[in-house]
Amino acid sequence: MELQLLSRAELDTCSCWTSQFARLRKDHRYYEIVEDTLQQDFEFNYLLLRPSNEADCAVQPCFVINQNVFDGLQPGIRRFIEHVQRRWPVFMRIRTLMIGCAAGEGHLASPTPDIQAQIVRTFANSIMNCARGLGADLITFKEFPASYRPALRPLLDAGFSRIASFPNVSMRLEFRDFEHYCQQRLSRNERSQIRRKLRKAAECRIRMQVVSDISDRAPEIAALYYQVHERSSFKFERLTEDFFAQICARMPDKARFFLWTQDERIVGFNMCMIEGSTIYSECIGLDYSIALDAHLYFVIFRDVMNWAIQNGFTQYGSTGLSYEPKYRFRFSLEPLDLYVRHVSPVANVLLKVLLPWLSPAQHDPVLKQFANFRDLHREC
C-alpha cells in the first residue's frame, strides 16, 4: 500500500473520498467543514493510502499544528508554563503532525479489519518520512476510540506510546423517559435535588425546540458557545459561527440543533449528531446571565434524553470534559487514545518517560470516580 500526501484541491480529484467515514456521523463532509471554518493555525492535509486494488483506497485526514505539550496538565501548572512562554514563545511548543480530526475523535477510514490492518502497517512504515517532509518533530494519532486498539497495535511496535486522552461518555437509553431514568439510576437524594432544580427552571418559562436549520441564528448560537468555551480549563479547537451555519447547511441529515428560548431569545443550545441509533451531544452553549439560576445544564440533559427516547434512539453519547455532572448522571466512559512518538529516536526515549505524566486524563480527579476508569489504560 502506497502513502501519498494530498492537499484539499488534490483530494477533490480522488473518487474514493466521498465514501470515506460514511458509516459515521462525522463523514467526509464534516472534515471539509472543519477545514473550511476553523480559524486557527491548522495546516490541513490528507493521507491517501492506495493499495493494489483501487476500490480499497483509504483517506486519513491529518493536520499540522504547533502543539504545546503541556496542554493536558492541571490549570495551575499550565499557568506557570504560560508565564514562561510569554517570555519565550517557543518553549515546549513542538510542530506536530496529527492524524485524525481537528474537532472530534479519530477513525480509521476503512470499516474492514483487513484494510485497517494494511492502513496501520503502512503508517508504521511510512509516517516518519511524511512527518519529516512536513517539518514535524512529533507525530500524534489523535483520540482514537479504544475499539481500534487491536488494529493500532503495530504503532506500538514502531515506537509509538499510547496514553489516555479525555474520554467521551455514553449511556444506554433503557428507560421510558427521564423520570424513569431518575427512578432507575439515581438515589432518592439525587432525585430530590434534580426535581428541585427542574422546578426552579420551570419558573423561568424556558421552551425547547428542535431544528436542523439555524443559519439565521448562527451568530446567537456562536456567542453562547463562546461563553462555555472561555470557561473551559482545556481548549483545543475553537468552533466558529460559520462552522455552525455550515453544519446545518451541509449535513442536515446528521445534525440536530436543540434550542432553549426565553421570550424568543436563545439562552441555550445543544448541537447533536446522529449515528444509527445513537445521538451524540457534540457541544453546548449557555447564556450565563440565566443558565446557573435556571439550572439550564440539567434542563438540556432532561429534554434531549426525552426527545431521544421518543424518537427511538437507544444510546446517548457526549463529548468529554465537564465530568462532574456526567459522573452524577451515571454516564460510562468511552476511552479515547493518543498514540505519540518523536521523529528523533533519542528524543523518543525521553518522551516515553514523560508521556504518562503528560496524559490529559491523568490529572482529572473526577475521572477516577467512574466505575470503568481502568478502561482508559487497559491493554489491547
Q: What is the pLDDT of residue 315?
A: 98
**pTM (predicted TM-score):** 0.90
Q: Residue written as cell 490541513?
A: 44
Domains of the chain as residue ranges with CATH? 2-167+336-376 (3.40.630.30), 169-333 (3.40.630.30)
Alpha helices in 186-278 (DSSP H): 188-202, 218-231, 241-250
Cα–Cα distances (Å) from 276 to 4, 46, 49, in that order, read: 32, 26, 27
The C-alpha cell of 2 is what? 502506497
Please state whether beta strands 278-286 and 315-318 pair in parallel, antiparallel, or not at all (unpaired): parallel
For the chain, 380 residues long, the average pLDDT of each consecutive 10-residue run is 85 85 94 93 89 72 84 54 50 84 91 78 90 94 94 93 95 96 95 94 93 90 94 84 94 95 94 97 95 94 97 95 92 96 93 84 88 87
Q: What is the pLDDT of residue 85?
A: 46
Of 135, 7, 112, nearest in space to 58 by CA: 112
Orientation angle between helical segments 241-250 and 218-231, nearest 10 degrees: 120
Alpha carbon 177 to chain centroid distance? 27
Whether residue 146 contacts residue 335, with contact meaning beta carbons closer than 8 Å, is answered with: yes
Whether residue 118 contacts residue 159, with contact meaning beta carbons closer than 8 Å, is answered with: no
Number of Cβ within a 10 Å radius of residue 250: 15
Q: What is the pLDDT of residue 228?
A: 93
Of 301, 319, 308, nearest in space to 277 by CA: 308
DSSP-assigned letter for residue 112: S
